Chain A
Amino acid sequence: MKDFIVILKSLWRSKTSPLLLILQIAVTFTIFVNAVYMVTQKHHKVTAPSGLNESQVFSLFINLQEKELAQVAEFEQVIRDIKQLDSVANAIPVTSVPLSGFGRSVDIGYGPADEDKLTSSGYYGSNYDSLDTLELALIAGQWFEKSDVTHSFFGAPSGGKVLVSKALAQTLHPDNWRDVLGKTLYVQGEPQQVIGVIDNLKAVWSFWRLFDHAVLSPVFEVRDKVGIMVKAQSGSLEKAMLDVKERLLMTPGRQIDKLKPFSQTREESYRTDVAELQTLQLVLIGLLLLTMLAIFGQARFAILKRRKQIGTRRALGANQLQILRYYLLENLIVTLTGVVIGMVCAVLVNTQLVSYFGLMPVPADYLLVGALAILLAGQCAVIQPAWQAARVSPALATRSV
């Protein structure tokens, strides 16, 4: 450990270049830890399950050409027509498609007045078959009865039943989300009885803070343009999409819009997130490469400059291992200083990010793993020049002094 003092002294004597390196490591570390954390968060977000059977479900929108009550009959007939197709397992009317970016949010509270509002939520109206079609997981309470299903021209009339997503139940009852069962919930000002909880159902906007909040009602809506979600028989998604299109287009004047598998809806929904994720990853790789280069170049320079000094030390009896150890230790000191400063900066920057963008604070293990990674990278970069230095012949020293 007597090297330690010597290293500190020699670093102190030529401050500039180690100082620059420390600065660079600190800055890299700050950016690196925060960016890695953002990447993993984004990664979690884009890979999170949507709660429904993504491989078998597709959605479409069609126009309804009748008016008033005949329009309801027309819609029901369309759903029946689709269900009769061989390649189709089930089909439901929907007010909007999860993750699609088009839909509505409703005010949620335990009272009818504005000030009773507790939170907001995504809203879906469908029918009895939505459990089977979307393969939702009911984790508490019970499903709708077939007799609960009704239609409306907008929203759900008061006094009906609803299911809520677990995340919404947790927001309403942080201590025990099961308390939500049996409660009368005001959805957009209309009282509805909560009869069950769905494990996972998302709203339509993936960028929404309350993306996990959803309410499902057994009231399907009839409008000029309506949504349908279809579950294909397993393995025949593409055939089912073609079949449905062909069947529906047998009606003159029928329009089919946004016919796409749910996997595509999902992909489009997360497109900006995925783009950000990949850009961040590119930036990270660039930064890491650059820091490695910097450490490498700096270490090489430091060693080249001190060839004679090394020769002298060798001539005075230091063995190769001691020389190697000296430079590894020197690098460790410089990198460690950089990392410590970087840690402080990373936490400072992170608290700013948390307060400005509502990000989660970086957990401590990210800091530790990041620190270890950079220390390791520094040691890797320095091994080659240090080994070269250790092989400097002692004769070099005797020649020039």
Chain B
Amino acid sequence: MLSYYFKLAWLSLRKTPLLSVLMVGTIALGIAAAMVTYTVSYMMTKDPLPAKSDRIFTVQLSAWGPQQPYKVVDGREEIPAMISYRDAQNLKTTAKAQQETAIGLFKSMSRAEQQNRRDAQMRMVRTTHNDFFSMFEVPFLYGSAWSEQDDSAGNQVVVITKALNDELFDGVNSVGHHIVLGESLLQIVGVMDDWFPIPRFYYLSSQAYHDPHDLFVPLQYQINQEIFSRSDVTWACWQDIEDVAFSDFITSDCIWLFYWVELESAKDRADYMDFINAYVDEQKSAGRFARENLSRLFTIDEYLRWAEVLSNENDMAVWLAFAFLLACLLNCMSLMMTKFYGKGSEIGLRRAVGASRHDICWQFLCEAFLIGVLGGVLGLMFAQLGLVLVQQIFSHLNASIMQMDLQIVLMTILLSIVTSVLFGLWPIYRAAQIQPSSQLKSL
């Protein structure tokens, strides 16, 4: 019987092509608008590291100078998100966590060894420890991360992204080749596969939706080479450091590194916090850390919320889009009323030859369902079109936040069907109320 109803529904849709197109189009428009905004919002707020998100933490220390707080937010003292090289070095040597890494940045002229000098380009270079790659589950296309020994010696080794490998080496295995950074030669030890953590949580929040930088070198290399791009990276000092030597700069309290630790399980958080507090006390007795101890650990999610990368403003757009969907559905409902009203005589006839109200309801439910399916499919197409447009509009952001995964595709179709059936209920109820006698008279 159901297949017969679907056949009837299909015939009925074909009979009034204009009205059907309008109904399907209205639903599709609403679904597309809602799903485009939902997709962007969903992708932007996804957990970038689901397997470890409860046991990876960033360490923030209360290491600012005695004169004034680092920052005051809503009347409360706020501590910086970054720490000094000195503290990073102390934590790293203690090696209390399972894995841990400092993360810094500098800017340098860079080119492949075989490239001409004039083809060199200014690029940002990420400086870190080798734990970075295993902690953040960075996939490798060729080679691997550098070794423990490279880290401690600050060897001239570099890991590059797939994008840079494609640009400089046409995508072939470049491990063993060299990159020229400034005036020195670094050997490529690894080429990363596609890796776009979204949001890019491990450093400053301002570029959370940009791709990772192309070059990764050991932090100790930067220290050995005495590189610090003071006008291109974020850093802060409470002491006056005009014209100080590099060696003094790195032993100062100037902050310029993020520090991330991976613990064995989420339960170890309190333990590790005790360790940090003990470290702060130890530094206090050595005459540093003059302020009240506000040091803390943040999970990725906590950090992103604190840094306002994840905020409720994103939800606002989604609410608006769903309000738009609601308006579309109401319109579709009025179109369905028109449609079913026009079929009054048909309903009357069917009722007269024995169909119950129940049967009529089923028949029209099938029609609403069919409209939902068509609307969903068309809406999906509109949404893809919309996402392409959005990708063009926001071409400077990572495109993968503007793509649907299978889950969202299925959700789109389902949403369309459920809403169109739901909003079809009232017109269907009205249609089923039609008295056979009143209609038959006019035939």
> A residues within 8 Å of B by Cβ?
17, 20, 24, 224-225, 242, 245-246, 249-250, 252-259, 268, 271, 274-275, 278-279, 282, 286-287, 289-290, 293-294, 296-298, 300-301, 304-305, 399-400
Contact = CB atoms under 8 A, between A and B. Distances in A.
B135 interface: no
B109 A256 contact: yes
Contacts, number: 82
Given A245-B118, A257-B232, 18 more contacts: A224-B230, A246-B118, A249-B120, A252-B183, A255-B109, A271-B396, A282-B386, A286-B29, A289-B29, A290-B327, A293-B26, A293-B335, A294-B331, A296-B22, A297-B334, A300-B338, A301-B334, A301-B341
Given A224-B231, A249-B117, A258-B122, A275 B334 contact: no
B441 interface: yes
Contacts of A257: 107, 122, 232
Contacts of A242: 118
Contacts of A259: 122
B442 interface: yes
A255 B109 CA distance: 6
Nearest to B26: A293
B389 interface: yes
A286 B33 contact: yes
Nearest to A259: B122
Contacts of A274: 393
Contacts of A301: 334-335, 337-338, 341
Tell me the interface secondary structure of chain B in the complex. Answer: helix
Contacts of B341: 301, 304-305
A399 B230 CA distance: 90
A21 to B, nearest CB: 9
A120 to B, nearest CB: 23
A249 B122 CA distance: 12
A293 B331 contact: yes
A250 B441 CA distance: 97
A144 to B, nearest CB: 27
30 contacts: A20-B334, A224-B230, A224-B231, A242-B118, A253-B183, A255-B108, A256-B122, A257-B122, A258-B122, A268-B396, A271-B396, A275-B393, A278-B393, A279-B393, A282-B389, A289-B29, A290-B26, A290-B29, A290-B324, A290-B328, A293-B26, A296-B22, A297-B22, A297-B331, A297-B335, A297-B338, A300-B338, A301-B337, A301-B338, A304-B338
Contacts of B390: 279
Nearest to A384: B18
B319 interface: no
B182 interface: yes
A271 B210 CA distance: 15
B325 to A, nearest CB: 10
B334 A17 contact: yes
Nearest to B123: A257
A101 to B, nearest CB: 12
Contacts of A268: 396
Interface string B333-345: 0110110011000
Nearest to B397: A275
Contacts of A296: 22
